[in-house]
Amino acid sequence: MDLQALKNKYDIIGNDPALNEALETAVKFAPTGLSVLILGESGVGKENVARIIHQFSPRRQGNFFVVNCGALPKELVNSELFGHVKGSFTGAVDNRKGYFEEADGGTLFLDEIAELPLESQALLLRVLQSGEYRKVGSNKVEHTDVRVVAATNVHLYEAVKRGKFREDLYFRLSAAQIRIPPLRDRKSDIYLLFRKFTSDFSEVNGMCKISLKPDAIRLLEEYRWPGNIRQLQGFTQSLTAQLSVKVTPTLQRIELSAQDLRPFMPREEGEPIPMLYEGPQTQGSAFNQDERQAIFKAIFDLKQEVDALKARIDRRELPAPPQPAMQEEAEWQGDGEFDDSAPIVHVQAMQEPQDHSLSVRRTEEDLIRQALQKHHGNRKKAAEELGMSERTLYRKLPPEYRKK
């Protein structure tokens, strides 16, 4: 079977030289009885390579079991791998076969092998060397004929140096290695995978396929894809679900530019699923009351520092500060609403110079606007939420709240 036929059979997309080398090596190792260690980050497709080794080996008619070592409860690892006898521990109500017995004559794929406890590693080494093991709670030596293909996303020799992995097991496994490159090193394959995923998802759901313009392809390739193929698949399916529409006789495909794609790209590494872009949020809408008060205070502190600095630069005196809060509040105690008929009083001390605090004033107005909207125009409640007096709120009202 040639390389492209192999890729088609196992649904492997890509033409990267390092990927091709990994597949060719897997086919070469397959007919032998060697234990194989597959190295690569999470999501690069290590299980597919293990299946290729099994299918091209004399054991293809036997069982192929996948065991995620990281998902096994530590107290039950040995029981899962080697089985147990009735009464060997609490809950062992009957004899149970382990994976090594079930996979006899076939292949056992041990994913995340670095997660095995040291005790289990010693037992695994014995199986690899002699085919012998004992069930938990039994003194009887059992025999099995199982080929082990292991995989890990960690640097195993570093784990050996830290005492987390047995050196003898490492050397036993590492004689036959296959390294699968991460997606960030296969940039030319990224768009091929994207097209495959959007095509499959669209066909199942009767939607238009998504294609990308050259600038959008570059944007896709520039991202590191820390979750590799698994992350790209989830991203593509979510993107298609959000932006595509049902197929019609006149509409089969939707093309996106970089500007269209950018809002949906993952914002940081490890975020595999794109979030629906809803445009910029109004300032202050995502904050609770305490956070708004803290922001408002920080804005005023900053404004005062800027005023003081400008006064020193201009060699002029600052205007007199506003009256103390206690005197301000005394005039506005009670439950009555502010009198809209009263004239607006502009206090010189609170005016922002246009040349340095326009953004500060806009931020203040946004905070006030949000508070007023939340309390349906009730200025007293808005002032309480913002931690200011009602008089201060009134003179800083946004234009649309001032009486003409």
pLDDT at 298: 59
Q: Is pTM, for the whole model, over 0.75?
A: no
Which residues, other chains included, contact 62 with Cβ-Cβ below 8 Å and sequence gap of 6+? 103, 104, 105, 106, 107
360 has pLDDT over 90: no
Q: What is the mean pLDDT of the chain?
A: 80
Q: What is the CATH number of the domain that holds 198?
A: 1.10.8.60
126 has pLDDT over 70: yes
Domain that holds residue 193: 184-264
Q: What is the CATH number of the domain that holds 97?
A: 3.40.50.300
User: Does some domain include residue 48?
Assistant: yes
Let me know: does 208 contact 245? Beta carbons within 8 Å.
Answer: yes
Q: Can you tell me the distance from the alpha carbon of 200 to that of 303, in angstroms, rounded to the nearest whole number?
A: 56
Same domain, yes or no: 51 and 101: yes
H/E stretch holding 38 reads strand 36-39
User: Does some domain include residue 58?
Assistant: yes
Which residues, other chains included, contact 75 with Cβ-Cβ below 8 Å and sequence gap of 6+? none
Tokens of 109: 């794929």
Q: How confident is the model at residue 323 (pLDDT cuts 50, 70, 90)?
A: very low
User: Does some domain include residue 111?
Assistant: yes
User: Does some domain include residue 176?
Assistant: yes
Tokens of 36: 């194989």
pLDDT at 120: 95
Q: How confident is the model at residue 303 (pLDDT cuts 50, 70, 90)?
A: low
322 has pLDDT over 70: no
276 has pLDDT over 70: no
Which residues, other chains included, contact 15 with Cβ-Cβ below 8 Å and sequence gap of 6+? 188, 189, 192
Provide the greatest CA pair distance for the chain: 98
Let me know: does 184 contact 146? Beta carbons within 8 Å.
Answer: no
58 has pLDDT over 50: yes
Let me know: does 401 contact 378? Beta carbons within 8 Å.
Answer: no
Q: Domain count for the chain, please give it.
A: 3
User: Does some domain include residue 283?
Assistant: no
Same domain, yes or no: 133 and 222: no
Q: How confident is the model at residue 69 (pLDDT cuts 50, 70, 90)?
A: very high
294 has pLDDT over 70: no
Highest mean pLDDT among 66-70, 298-302, 323-327, 383-387: 66-70
